[in-house]
Amino acid sequence: MLSKHLKKNLQDCRFIFLLLALAAMLALFIKPSMKHIAPVYNLTFIVDITRSMNARDYRLNGESVSRIEFIKHELRQLLFALPCQSKIGLGVFTDRQSALLFEPLEICSARYEIDRVLAALDWRMAWAADSRIGKGLHETVTMLMSRKTSIVFLTDGQEAPPVNPRYHTDFSDVKGKSQGMIVGVGGLNNVPIPKYDKEGKQVGIYSVDDVPHRSTFGIPSRLPADAGNYHARNAPFGGAKVIGDQHMSRLYEPHLQQLSREMGWSYHRLETLDKLVQALSEDFADTQMVSEDIRVYSAVAALFLLLLAYLPFDWASIFKTSGH
C-alpha cells in the first residue's frame, strides 16, 4: 500500500520538485564550497582626515561631495569588488601619525562591520589640526611594517603648515620594508576649504588670515634679511606678512609622487572604483587557491523548484506532450 502511494507521488511532478527543493535546502546546512584560483588581497587603508579633506571637488549622483565622503563611498564599494578571503584594515591620519582602527579582517565574514566603520569616518576624529604627511607616512610604515599587509595611504598631499625644506623626512630606514601605494585624492585646481564649528555645522570657508602660508619651524632655508623685521632670535623668518594660497586646497600630486618614489611605492590618483581596483590588482594581488561559498546557488535552486511546484500548471500533461 505504501509502495503504491509512493509510486503515485513519484509520478507527480510537484512532489519531485518539492523533494529536490528539500535537497537543495539541506545543502545549505553543509556549507558547500568550490575551490578555485583567485587573486586575494591583504590591505590596510590609511585615510587622511585633516581639514583640507573636507574640500569638495568630487561628484556623486550629481552632487558635490568632500574628499572624505568620496573615499568612504569608494571603499564601501570596494568591499563588493574584492574576492572573498581578501582582508581589509583601516586607519586614519592626522598631524604626524596614524591610528589603526582595526587590523585587516576577511571582507566576506566581516563586511557589515567594516562597512559600518567606513560609514562613520569623519574629520572630527582628528586629534590635531596639522598635517605633516611625510612624517605621518614614515610613522605609518614604522607601525605596520612588521605586519603582512600592504599599505594604501589616501591623502591630498597638502602639508599644513607648509614644510621647511631643511627638514624633509628621511625614508631611508623604512624604504623597502613594506609594500604600499600612495593614493592622491582631490582635483588639480584650488577649491575652498569649508570651515565648521564644533557641532559639525559649516560656518563659512577658510580665508587668507586663517592659516599659515609658510613654515616657521627650525632654521630658515635662506637668511631672510630682505623679509622685513628680521631678528636672528625672535623672528628668524622675518616679520613680513606672507600671503599664499594655503587657505585653498588641491591635490599636491608632484609632492605625493616624490614621496612614493622615495618610499619605493607606486602612486595612483583616485578617480573611479574600476581604476582603483586595477591599480590594486597590479601591485598587491596574491594568487591563491580559495574556497568560495556556493550556498547562494543552492538557495536560488530551492526557491526556483518551490515556484515550479506551486505554479498552476498541469506538469503531467506538459511532460507527456513533450514525450511525444
User: What is 117-152 written as a DSSP string?
Assistant: HHHH--GGG-S-S-B-HHHHHHHHHHHHTTSS-EEE
pLDDT above 90: percentage of residues in the chain: 50
pTM score, whole prediction: 0.77
- Listed in sequence order, the residues at least 6 apart from 118 whose beta carbon sits closer than 8 Å to its beta carbon are 72, 75, 76, 90
pLDDT digits (tens, 9 = 90+) for 92-142: 999 889 999 999 999 988 999 999 999 999 999 998 888 899 999 999 999
3-class SS at 292?
A: strand
pLDDT band at 322 (very low <50, low <70, confident <90, very high): low
Q: Could you tell me the three cell numbers for 249?
A: 586646497
Q: Is 218 left (phi over 0), alpha (psi -120 to 50) or beta?
A: left
What average pLDDT score do residues 139-168 get?
89
Please state the domain count of the chain. 1
| Measured distance CA(143)–CA(135) in Å, rounded | 12
pLDDT digits (tens, 9 = 90+) for 268-301: 999 999 999 999 998 898 887 766 666 777 788 8
Residue 15 lies in a domain: no
**Per-residue pLDDT for 149 more than 80?**
yes
For 124, 151, 185, 192, 203, the CA distances from 246, given in Å and listed in that order, are 20, 28, 17, 10, 19
pLDDT band at 66 (very low <50, low <70, confident <90, very high): very high
Enclosing domain of residue 107? 37-211+246-293
pLDDT digits (tens, 9 = 90+) for 206-262: 888 777 656 555 455 555 555 555 545 544 555 556 667 888 999 999 999 999 999
Instruction: Give the pLDDT score at 18.
Output: 81
Nearest to 88 by CA among 154, 179, 149: 149
**35 CA to centre of own chain:** 27
**More confident: 40 or 200:** 40
Residue 185 lies in a domain: yes
- In which element (H, E) is residue 196 found? strand 194-196
**Per-residue pLDDT for 152 more than 50?**
yes
pLDDT band at 39 (very low <50, low <70, confident <90, very high): confident
**Per-residue pLDDT for 264 more than 50?**
yes
Residue 220 lies in a domain: no
Residue 32 lies in a domain: no
**More confident: 58 or 238:** 58
Instruction: Give the pLDDT score at 258.
Output: 96
Mean pLDDT (the chain) is 83
Nearest to 165 by CA among 255, 257, 53, 266: 255
What average pLDDT score do residues 62-68 get?
96
Residue 20 lies in a domain: no
Instruction: Give the pLDDT score at 6.
Output: 47
pLDDT band at 184 (very low <50, low <70, confident <90, very high): very high
For 130, 151, 253, 262, 320, the CA distances from 257, given in Å and listed in that order, are 21, 16, 6, 9, 71
Residue 5 lies in a domain: no
Nearest to 21 by CA among 311, 314, 304, 315: 304
3-class SS at 60?
A: strand
User: What is 66-102 written as a DSSP string?
Assistant: EHHHHHHHHHHHHHHHSPTT-EEEEEEEEBTEEEEEE
Placement of cell 604626524 in the chain: 96
**273 CA to centre of own chain:** 10
Phi, psi of 144 (to 5 degrees): -110, -5
Instruction: Give the pLDDT score at 235.
Output: 47
- Identify any residues that bridge with 106 across adjacent strands, giving them in sequence order: 87
**More confident: 37 or 313:** 37
- Identify any residues that bridge with 88 across adjacent strands, giving them in sequence order: 43, 105
Residue 50 lies in a domain: yes
**More confident: 292 or 171:** 171
161 cis-preceded (ω within 30 degrees of 0): yes
| Measured distance CA(11)–CA(179) in Å, rounded | 63
Looking up residue 92, the CATH number of its domain turns out to be 3.40.50.410
Of 20-24, 188-192, 217-221, give the lowest mean pLDDT range: 217-221
Residue 22 lies in a domain: no
Instruction: Give the pLDDT score at 10.
Output: 47
Q: Are strands 286-293 and 33-40 parallel, antiparallel or unpaired?
A: antiparallel
| Measured distance CA(94)–CA(68) in Å, rounded | 13
Instruction: Give the pLDDT score at 300.
Output: 84
